[in-house]
Amino acid sequence: MKNFPKFLYLCNFFRLAVYFSKLISIFSKKERKRISFYNFFKKRKRRFDKDLLMAFYRPKIFIFNHDFETRDIINSIYNYKDLFDVNEFTNDGHKNIFQSEHNLNKKKEFMDTSKSIENFVSKNIDNIFNSKKIDLIKMWFVITKQSGIINKHSHFDSDLSGVLYLKVNPNSPNSGLEIFNPLKEMDIYKYNLSLNKIEKNTFTGDKYLFKPKNNDLIIFNSYLEHSVQNKDPNITDRISLPFDLIFKI
């Protein structure tokens, strides 16, 4: 019975998967975490092939460090004509942060960066998802001021989400990206520079804390809830470039 929601999920019957998962959760606390996972796909209202759904079923985080000419990107951000203007994302409930409009991938000054990230992601992780083509559909920048907070949320209109860290304070032990694990295990793929290969580990905790360095790039399933805590009052202008990706089916 406990595997029945998974069977429904793999058949694209997401609404039924949510229903039976809720039913099973009455008797199993472990199943309660899975409800939000099935609900994510129900809200997407999109049909996926079985191979991709199998790849999605186990949460994944990918961590790289790569220089995307970050100095030029930072200059483009500070020269952005709508910098610090009020926009539709101003009142999202976050604290001491500014985020741009989410269409930088369509802006001339950011198009090369968008394409570079898209190509890098496709080259390095598409084999994990059975070589599906990956498109970057949204990109924006976030400037976090002192003690800035981004509340827990997930991205319901994409398959993968990521962040390129352009400017961070490496001496902020109490700050980082928190990614919440809805399941028992989560796969962590991290690029080992000295060995020139990606190493895979398993994380079993409830919350994964990622403490970024400059030029770090992290990618994860969009259904994973995440938040940002900057508890160091000395942080000023922490700059990141989040983005959303979808698989072309």
194 versus 77: the higher-pLDDT residue is: 77
175 versus 72: the higher-pLDDT residue is: 72
Tokens representing 166?
A: 């352009």
- E strand residue ranges, 25-124: 60-65, 95-99
* Strand 186-192 to 60-65 pairing: parallel
pLDDT for the residue numbered 36: 86
**pLDDT over 90 at 241, yes or no:** yes
The residue length of the chain stands at 249
| pLDDT above 70 as % of the chain | 91
* Strand 197-203 to 186-192 pairing: antiparallel
pLDDT digits (tens, 9 = 90+) for 199-228: 999 999 989 999 999 999 999 999 999 888
Question: How many other C-beta atoms are found inside a 10 Å radius of the C-beta of residue 214?
Answer: 14
* CA-to-CA separations, 196 to 128, 165, 193, in angstroms, rounded: 17, 21, 5
pTM: 0.90
Tokens representing 219?
A: 């990618």
Asked if residue 178 lies in contact with residue 227, where contact means CB atoms within 8 angstroms, the answer is yes
Asked if residue 162 lies in contact with residue 196, where contact means CB atoms within 8 angstroms, the answer is no
* CA-to-CA separations, 104 to 6, 100, 154, 201, in angstroms, rounded: 37, 8, 20, 33
Q: Which of 23-37, 81-95, 161-175 has the lowest mean pLDDT?
A: 81-95
As assigned by CATH, the class of the 60-248 domain is mainly beta
Q: In angstroms, how far is the first alpha carbon of the chain from the final one? A: 31
- Phi, psi (rounded to 5 degrees) for 62: -120, 135
pLDDT for the residue numbered 173: 64
